[in-house]
Amino acid sequence: MRVMTVIFCLFVSVMNSAVAADPLPSWNAGPTKDAIINFVKCATNDGCPLYIPPQDRIAVFDNDGTLWSEQPAYFQLMFALDRVKAMADQHPEWKTEQPFQAILENDFKAVAASGKEGLLKIMAVTHSGMTTDEFEETVRSWIKTARHPQRKVP
């Protein structure tokens, strides 16, 4: 029993060192993992241009371990708001129709006040009337130009 305890302790010790050496041990090596590690190093180094003060650091992970932005809003909502702005020329009625008017005026308190009903209207107009391939292309195009509203970074 004593030998088993020693072996177990050695095993745990070795595993702890391996985890300490690799901050993302369950991720495959590659450019994505490297980019995440480098971003975190930069965001936590006050000499880096992408430095984020500790009180502003928020990281949320989805159930599968992927990063999930929720501040200042979820990516899906940011996409939908940007789509409303991009589609506004084809919908002049939105200048006086809520929640679209609020989006066009950057009045996010009014957007939030529109509640579930407003959100459903926004999602209905920004996520319909196209094939899945067209939607995918729209999202890919948005990702190329989208910027964080406060930090102005991709």
Task: Render pLDDT for 93-150 as a digit per residue (tens, 0 to 9).
Answer: 999 999 999 999 999 999 999 999 999 999 999 999 999 999 999 999 998 998 877 7
**Whole-model pTM?**
0.59
- How many structural domains comprise the chain? 2
- CA-nearest of 125, 118, 133 to 82 is 125
Query: Are residue 89 and residue 138 in the same domain, yes or no?
Result: yes
Burial of 40 (0-12, 13-18, 19+ CB in 10 A): middle
Query: Are residue 40 and residue 85 in the same domain, yes or no?
Result: no
pLDDT of residue 73: 74
Asked if the structure places residue 43 within a domain, the reply is yes
The helix (H) or strand (E) run that includes residue 72 is none
Query: Are residue 81 and residue 129 in the same domain, yes or no?
Result: yes
Contact 23, 36 (CB under 8 A): no
Asked if the structure places residue 17 within a domain, the reply is yes
Query: Are residue 94 and residue 139 in the same domain, yes or no?
Result: yes
Query: Are residue 39 and residue 88 in the same domain, yes or no?
Result: no
Other Cβ atoms within 10 Å of 102 Cβ, number: 22
Q: At what angle do helices 115-126 and 75-87 cross, to 10 degrees?
A: 60
Query: Are residue 141 and residue 90 in the same domain, yes or no?
Result: yes
Structural domain boundaries, residue 37: 2-56
